[in-house]
Structures are given as structure tokens and as C-alpha cells.
């Protein structure tokens, strides 16, 4: 199971050229202390050992999700039947990786920025895999599936729901624009596509939003 998460983290690092010094599997939680209706969650806590302040991270991904992914490995074949579980797991890995990358550089991170980057990561990693698995065929229905055919947890409070919806909307525009500029033209420009994604990853909260305004 952990190998799948390591593969996800490696792809995020490769596509965005953002290696970090920590393996997500070393921070994986087997269960949540509180009852929560979620398949994925990243927990952050401040620590104080009396000499310095620190941060603790934990990543929870429902073991049932990981079990299903192990049985239907998306790195062998990403398809309708495992796409939702793939996105659930990759969201947790993306959150972890982005938080660590920012913390290593002393950068603040907003919740909207975190969600927006995860939406972009999920789409681009899925694209990357599907194009590899289909000899370069562009996955035409993926954008609709990932950005239009979505639902949100009913228990979300209003501010959280608005944040998820805003992240979805900005990422949908940004990824569609990238598709049209770099991947759906007669001559695909993969190097420019990667360059754009890598620039976006390094943008601040407000710069990310400016780059993805509909």
C-alpha cells in the first residue's frame, strides 16, 4: 500500500520539480482520534518541547481506499473504477507534499492555496498517467469527470464548502487553459506544459489565483 503513495509523491515531485526531504509514508496515520466522515485528512499540530516551537504532521487515508487501490493499481491502469480512490489518496499526498515544501522554505500557506494546488495536482498526475498508459492519447473526458461531475461532503460548514468550490472553479479554468495552450494543439508542447506547472507550484496564494481567474 505504501508503495502506491510513494509513487504518487514521486510523480508530484517529478512533474513540478519539487523534491522534499520527507516521505509521506512516514507520516501515515492508521486511524483518526475523532470520528470524522472523511476518507482523507492531513492533520497539523504545533509542538513546544521547551526550547523551540515545531510542527507535527499526520496524513490519514482511509485504509479501505488503499486496499481498493492495491487491488486495482492505478499505475497499471487508471480507469473509471479506481479514479475516485486515486484522487482521494493523491489529495492527501499533495497536501502533505505542498505543506512540507512550503515549510522547508519558510513560506506561509492558506487553506485555499492548499486545496487549489491539490486540485491541479490530481488532474495533472491523472493526465500524465493516462497519456503514458494510452501511448499519448489525450484523455478528453477527464476534465469533465474531475471538475464538473463532483460532489462535496454534506457535513461541510459554509466557509469550507465555499473554499472547496472556489478551488475547484479556479483549478478547472487553469487546467483547461493549460490543455488548450499546450496539449490539445496539433504539436504538443510538453516542456512548456511542465514549465507552466512548475511556475504555478511556486506561486503565492494571490499569484495562483491571478493565474487561474475565469
DSSP class per residue in 133-182: HTTT---TTHHIIIIIS----TT--HHHHHHHHHHHHHHHHHHHHHIIII
pLDDT of residue 199: 97
User: How large a percentage of the chain has pLDDT more than 70?
Assistant: 92
C-alpha span between 66 and 69 (Å, rounded) = 5
Region 121-140: what's the mean pLDDT?
95
48-85 pLDDT, tens per residue? 555 544 678 999 999 999 999 999 999 999 999 999 99
3-46 pLDDT, tens per residue? 999 999 999 999 999 999 999 999 999 888 666 678 889 988 76
User: How large a percentage of the chain has pLDDT more than 90?
Assistant: 74
pLDDT of residue 214: 58
DSSP H helices in the chain: 2-16, 63-71, 80-104, 111-133, 142-143, 158-178, 190-201, 205-211
Q: Is pTM beyond 0.75 here?
A: yes
Residue 98 pLDDT class (50, 70, 90 cuts): very high
Cα-based angle 68, 170, 142 (whole degrees, multiple of 5): 40
pLDDT of residue 55: 75
Amino acid at each position: 500500500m505504501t508503495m502506491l503513495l510513494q509513487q504518487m509523491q514521486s510523480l508530484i515531485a517529478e512533474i513540478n520539480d519539487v523534491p522534499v526531504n520527507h516521505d509521506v509514508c512516514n507520516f501515515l496515520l492508521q486511524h483518526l482520534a475523532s470520528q470524522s466522515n472523511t476518507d482523507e485528512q492531513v492533520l497539523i499540530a504545533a509542538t513546544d518541547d521547551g526550547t523551540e516551537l515545531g510542527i507535527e504532521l499526520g496524513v490519514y487515508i482511509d485504509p479501505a481506499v488503499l486496499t481498493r487501490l492495491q487491488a486495482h493499481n492505478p499505475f497499471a491502469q487508471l480507469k473509471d473504477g479506481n479514479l475516485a480512490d486515486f484522487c482521494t489518496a493523491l489529495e492527501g499526498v499533495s497536501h502533505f507534499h505542498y505543506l512540507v515544501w512550503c515549510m522547508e522554505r519558510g513560506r506561509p500557506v492558506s487553506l485555499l492555496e492548499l486545496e487549489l494546488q491539490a486540485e491541479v495536482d490530481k488532474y495533472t498526475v491523472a493526465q500524465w498517467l493516462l497519456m503514458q498508459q494510452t501511448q499519448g492519447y489525450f484523455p478528453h473526458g477527464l476534465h469533465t469527470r474531475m471538475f464538473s461531475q463532483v460532489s462535496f461532503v454534506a457535513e461541510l460548514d459554509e466557509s469550507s464548502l465555499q473554499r472547496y468550490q472556489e478551488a475547484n472553479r479556479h483549478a478547472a479554468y487553469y487546467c483547461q487553459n493549460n490543455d488548450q495552450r499546450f496539449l490539445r494543439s496539433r504539436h504538443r508542447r510538453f516542456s512548456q506544459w511542465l514549465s507552466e506547472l512548475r511556475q504555478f507550484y511556486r506561486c503565492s496564494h494571490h499569484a495562483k489565483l491571478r493565474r487561474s481567474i475565469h
